[in-house]
A and B are shown apart, each in its own frame.
Chain A
Amino acid sequence: MVNRLAVWLFLILLLTGCSFLPTNIVNEINLIQGVGYDLAGKNNIKGTVVFPIIKKGSSYSEVKTAFGQSSKEIRTKLSNETRFRLVSGQLRLTLYGKTLAKQGINDFVDTLNRDPSIGSLIQLAIVDGDTNELLKMKKYKEENISIYLQEMLDQNMEYGRLPRTDLQTFLLQLFQIGQDPYLPLIKKVDHNIQITGMAIFNYDQYVTSISLEELFIFKALLDQNRNGLNRFILKNGDKVVLETLNSNTKYKVKIVNGRPEYIIHLKMKTKLQEFAPSKKKRQAFDKKKYQKQVEHKLEKNALKMINQFKNHQVDPLGFGAKYKEHYRGFNEKQWKKFYPNVKVRVIANVDIRQTGIVD
């Protein structure tokens, strides 16, 4: 009986030769690789998708735009004008317009989080301007703009000044109590796309941004500095360019009467890359003197940035989360009250290990 059933089942499967599941044959679907969302009027969203049209030997990116209330509604509308079904399993990049980000992007990130076919390592970025315009750039028609941007961001996170962000980190920061997310900010400048800084959020709403120059210290405070290059202009006008070989950041939390106090230890091992004294006169590099000056400069910059965050009531460095780790009686409302006046001290320790073969 069971055997006969098995034989029938086998025959049915064999004869149909097909599957119970909906298939996604790679050349019969349109693989969305990049999407962008812009605000278009009140409660109306302009969605842009980029998918490659791959032919034997040649391929180009196709960009489609539609208006709607939600991301899936936009998808449905877009399907009306594509040859194959649109699928999002190959998504690599999602962009949000700055104006949209100011209203909050939670609704759009939520759908990325829910869809199991979307990986958690995709890049998210905020566009200073119109995402549709950026994705439509003629220059990148042949070059697959989604992969281009993804790799540009990846490259800068790995070797440049950008701290590591992707869907994974964004969601962690979004859902973690006592921390706010941050995303890279990109902009179309003439015929190029540039990274201009870091967008800082309050929960899911864009609040402020930090410039490219400040990113060095931001990345250091996040304990992510691996190989950044930074120029310091010291008090007397001397220029020192240091490359970080190894850095280590430790947060010490002290609870005083239920209120937290922070001491940030910034330890850096660096390599002197460039030294230009203001007096235009050849002089030996006084290591100890410049170490002190650079440390002082770092401490000042770090405090300046932290104060800026406090003023905007945003916490991308996760002071709240660290407070929560150390204090059982953590209360989010209370913490919000404490935050603008919280005591933070930065102690930098810069060690210039290599000065080159000149001295």
Chain B
Amino acid sequence: MKIKNGDKENSSASKHCWIERLSKSNDFVHEHTSLRENEPFWLSYYRTLISSDILHKDVLPFLQDRLSLEELKSKIPVQEIILSNDAEEIIQSIMNGSIAIQIHQLDEDCLLINIANSKFRDVSMPMLESSALGPQVGFIEELDTNINLIRKRLPVPELLVHEMKVGALSKTRVAVIYMDGIADPENVNTVIQRINDIQYDHIQDSSYISSMIEDNSNSLFPQSISTERTDRVAAGLTEGKIIIAVDGSPNLVILPVTLMESFIAMEDYSYSWIIGNFFRLLRLLSVFISGMVTPMYVAIMTYHYELIPARLLETLVGSRATVPFPPFLEALFLELMIEMVKEAGIRLPFKIGQSLGVVGGIVIGQAVVEAGLTSNVLLILVGLGTLASYTSPIYKFSNTIRFLKFPTIFLAQWFGLFGVFLTFQFIQVHLLRLTSLGRPYISQYPIRTTSFQDLWVRLPFSMQKENPKNLRPQKKRKSTGTGKNPEPMNDFYE
């Protein structure tokens, strides 16, 4: 904020002090092309921001002649050229990779030529949301490429992009993307207004934006989906969802979402609908397993020995016979260990990380069991629970599930199965109160028929007729019903 105020004072005091301000940095270049100082031209740019290739090939040759700025503007073969005398604008575009050309050093008028060096990594496979079938294109850190990827999937003029700049320091470009005529304008306005209201100086990632505009930022559950899959984003847009893309972040944010969408993988649509449903319901089941299995072990082994089947008794008691800790500490110890292995696996450099996966954790676990510190039944359960938590296609959601295990284990220790039930109820009440962009997070209740077309289960495409109602889309049906698809253009042989 301080800097911003300083800006305004400076610009009002002198139109030229931008050169002074910028030249404090060593990578700022301020030079002139001829031998004598009062002759044109003066160039100012950040060496680190521009592509010197374009500078030498496309810009410098034209500066040999004494042309006016207007003439230069029409001659230089670069797309983005502006003529400006506003110091603020000049600073801004130099910061974005333009060079400023002045005829004399003290001229107010500048020609701003954008020759920014935009070297980003190539479009590659999605790293977190990989899938066996389906498109293998993931978003990258550059906003324009990302929008390009979306536009390729939805080449219609109804796809609108509303761009904003957020953050006094980072000046991050944030784009709100939606389908005009499908997305509820109320949702669009809410998103734009909330992004405008952000008072934070630097935005490093789309997660900053999503957690700042969330309805309840204290909730453990992600109220938006962060995705790097292009197909998920395009599918969301056609249903009337709103996408927030942030420059510098490969993850796009989808709003509003419901809880069930965390179980939907785009791969479901690649299989036959029956197989797709099987996997979708399997994910739902595995979240329950993941969250419940260790707390249930603690509860049953600590309080409810009656519930153990007679034939299982010997296995369970036998495995705990030499364990010196109560089941609670045993479970906590093993769960924390698995979490540590997972955390270290992410933080470790790639090459070391490979050798230490969850598998490494199981090996350590096996050693722990052999040492008699935990029971092997628990090791199996913890392994199963951890494995199950990874089935959710949404990474943030699977983290939530793994975290929720810990309070449940504590309550299981204090109150037994009643405690497990209590956490379950608590989560349920919390989820019922939760909203995403003002829309209920568990919009599955009251039950709507659209929930059974493509949410809980996925019906064959011919039976998916309506867009989900909870988003209040302006377009109610999935098919516009024009009847005929456009003929493919095939003029090669003509």
The residues of A with any CB-CB pair to B shorter than 8 Å are: 13-14, 17-21, 23-27, 29, 31, 33, 52, 54-57, 59, 87, 89-90, 92, 117-119, 147, 150
Contact with A along B311-347 (1 / 0, CB 8 A): 1011011111111001110000000000000000000
Most buried by B among A24, A33, A89: A24
Q: How far is the CA of A27 from the CA of B324 in the complex (A)?
A: 10
Question: Which of B319, B410, B414 has the most CB atoms of chain A within a 10 A radius of its CB?
Answer: B414
Contacts of B305 in A (CB 8 A): 24, 26, 29, 31, 87, 89-90
B327: nearest residue on chain A (CB-CB)? A25
- Indicate if the CB atoms of B317 and A17 lie closer than 8 Å: no
Please count the residue pairs between chain A and chain B whose beta carbons lie under 8 angstroms apart in the complex. 74
Assess the B306–A17 pair: CB atoms within 8 A.
Answer: no
- Nearest A residue to B309 by beta-carbon distance? A90
Is B416's CB within 8 Å of the partner chain A? yes
Contacts of B310 in A (CB 8 A): 33, 90, 92, 147, 150
Contact A90:B308 (CB < 8 A) given known A20-B414, A21-B303, A25-B302: yes
Please determine whether B413 and A27 come into contact, CB atoms closer than 8 angstroms. no
Provide the main secondary structure of the chain A interface: loop
Q: Min CB distance, A303 to chain B, in Å?
A: 41
Q: Would B306 and A119 count as touching, CB distance under 8 A?
A: yes
A59: which of B314, B319, B415 is its contact (CB, 8 Å)?
B314
> Judging by beta carbons under 8 Å apart, are A27 and B308 in contact?
no
> Closest residue to B332 on the A side, CB-wise?
A17
Question: B177 near A: Cβ within 8 Å?
Answer: no
A59 to B313, CA, bound (A): 11
Question: Which chain A residues lie closer than 8 Å to B328 at the CB level?
Answer: 17
**Told that A23-B303, A26-B316 touch, could you supply 6 new A-B pairs with CB distance under 8 A?**
A17-B328, A18-B414, A26-B320, A27-B320, A54-B321, A56-B321
Chain B contacts with A in 398-416, Cβ cutoff 8 A: 410, 413-416
B308: contacting residue among A19, A26, A57, A117, CB under 8 A: A26
Q: Of the candidates B306, B317, B318, B410, which one forms a contact with A89 in the assembled complex, judged by CB atoms under 8 Å apart?
A: B306
Q: Which of A21, A23, A56, A119 contacts B319 (CB 8 A)?
A: A56
Whether A117 lies near B326 (C-beta < 8 A) is no
Question: Residue B225 at the A interface, CB < 8 A?
Answer: no
B residues near A54, Cβ cutoff 8 Å: 313-314, 317-318, 321
Question: In the assembled complex, which residues on chain B have CB atoms less than 8 Å from the CB atom of A21?
Answer: 303, 415-416
Q: Please tell me if the beta carbons of A56 and B302 are within 8 angstroms of each other in the complex.
A: no
Query: Which residue of B is nearest A147, CB measured?
Result: B310
Listed in ascending order, the chain B residues whose CB lies under 8 Å from chain A are 301-306, 308, 310-311, 313-314, 316-323, 326-328, 410, 413-416
User: Would you call A27 and B317 a contact (CB within 8 A)?
Assistant: yes
Complex CA–CA separation, A32 to B305 (angstroms): 11
| Chain A neighbourhood of B416, CB < 8 A | 19, 21
Partner of B301, one of A26, A119, A147: A26
* Bound CA–CA A345/B245 (angstroms): 87
Residues in A with CB closer than 8 Å to B320 are: 26-27
Q: How far is the CB of A315 from chain B (nearest CB, A)?
A: 34
User: Closest Cβ of chain B: how far from A291's Cβ, in Å?
Assistant: 43
Q: Could you jot down 27 A-B contacts, CB within 8 Å?
A: A13-B410, A17-B328, A17-B413, A18-B413, A18-B414, A20-B414, A21-B303, A24-B304, A25-B301, A26-B301, A26-B316, A27-B317, A27-B323, A29-B305, A31-B317, A54-B313, A54-B321, A55-B318, A56-B318, A56-B319, A57-B318, A59-B314, A59-B318, A90-B313, A92-B310, A117-B306, A119-B306
A330 to chain B, nearest CB (A): 39
The chain A residue with its CB closest to the CB of B326 is A25
Residues of A within 8 A of B314 (CB): 52, 54, 59
Chain A residue with the shortest CB-CB distance to B320 = A27
Contact A27–B306 (Cβ < 8 Å) = no
CA of A147 to CA of B317, assembled, Å: 16
Per the bound structure, the CA–CA distance linking A113 and B320 in Å amounts to 31
> Are A24 and B303 in contact (CB-based, < 8 A)?
yes
- Complex formed: what's the CA distance from A52 to B308 in Å? 14
In the complex, the chain B residue whose C-beta lies closest to that of A58 is B318
Chain B residue numbers with a CB within 8 Å of A117 are: 306
When the two chains form their complex, are residues A26 and B317 in contact, meaning their CB atoms are under 8 A apart? Answer: yes
Please provide the 9 A-B residue pairs with the shortest distance between their CB atoms, ordered closest to farther: A89-B306, A54-B317, A27-B320, A56-B321, A19-B414, A117-B306, A26-B305, A54-B318, A23-B302
B320 to chain A: closest CB distance in Å?
5
Q: Which of B306, B313, B326 contacts A23 (CB 8 A)?
A: B326
* B-side contacts of A55, CB under 8 Å: 318, 321
In whole angstroms, what is the CA distance A26 to B321 when docked? Answer: 9
Q: Which residues of B contact A13 (CB under 8 A)?
A: 410, 414
C-alpha spacing A23/B413, complex, angstroms: 9
In the bound complex, what is the Cα–Cα distance between A13 and B328 (angstroms)? Answer: 14
* Alpha-carbon gap, A23 to B327, bound state (A): 11
For the complex, what is the distance from the CA of A29 to the CA of B326, rounded to whole Å?
Answer: 13
A147 neighbours in B (Cβ, 8 Å):
310-311
Chain B residues with CB under 8 A of A59: 314, 318
The smallest beta-carbon distance between A142 and chain B, in angstroms, is: 12
Of listed B319, B326, B327, residue having the most chain A CB within 10 A: B326
The answer to whether B313 touches A52, judged by C-beta atoms less than 8 angstroms apart, is: yes
CA A20 to CA B310, docked complex, whole Å: 28
Which residue of B is nearest A27, CB measured? Answer: B320
Q: How far is the CA of A264 from the CA of B177 in the complex (A)?
A: 80
Q: Collect the chain A residues with CB atoms within 8 Å of residue B322's CB.
A: 56
Instruction: For the complex, give the distance between the alpha carbons of A19 and B323 in Å.
Output: 20
**B residues near A119, Cβ cutoff 8 Å:** 306
The closest CB in chain B to the CB of A23 belongs to B302
Measured CA separation A21–B303 after assembly (Å) = 9
B303 and chain A: residue at smallest CB distance: A24
B-chain residues with CB within 8 Å of residue A29 when the two chains form the complex: 305
How far apart sit A55 and B317, CA to CA, in the bound complex (Å)? 8
**CA of A53 to CA of B414, assembled, Å:** 27
A31 CA to B306 CA in the complex, in Å?
Answer: 9
**Residues of chain A lying within 8 A (CB to CB) of residue B326:** 23, 25
| Smallest CB separation, A335 vs chain B (Å) | 39
* Closest Cβ neighbor of B315 among chain A residues: A54
| Residue of B301, B318, B323, B327 with most partner-chain A CB within 10 A | B318
A24→B326 CA distance, assembly (Å): 10
Residues of the B chain whose Cβ atoms lie less than 8 Å from the Cβ of A20: 414-415
CB-CB under 8 A from B303, the residues of chain A are 21, 23-24
Bound Cα distance from A17 to B328, whole angstroms = 9
- Judging by beta carbons under 8 Å apart, are B415 and A27 in contact? no
Residue from B306, B311, B326 whose CB has the most chain A CB atoms within 10 Å: B306
Residues on the B chain within 8 Å of A24, using CB: 302-305
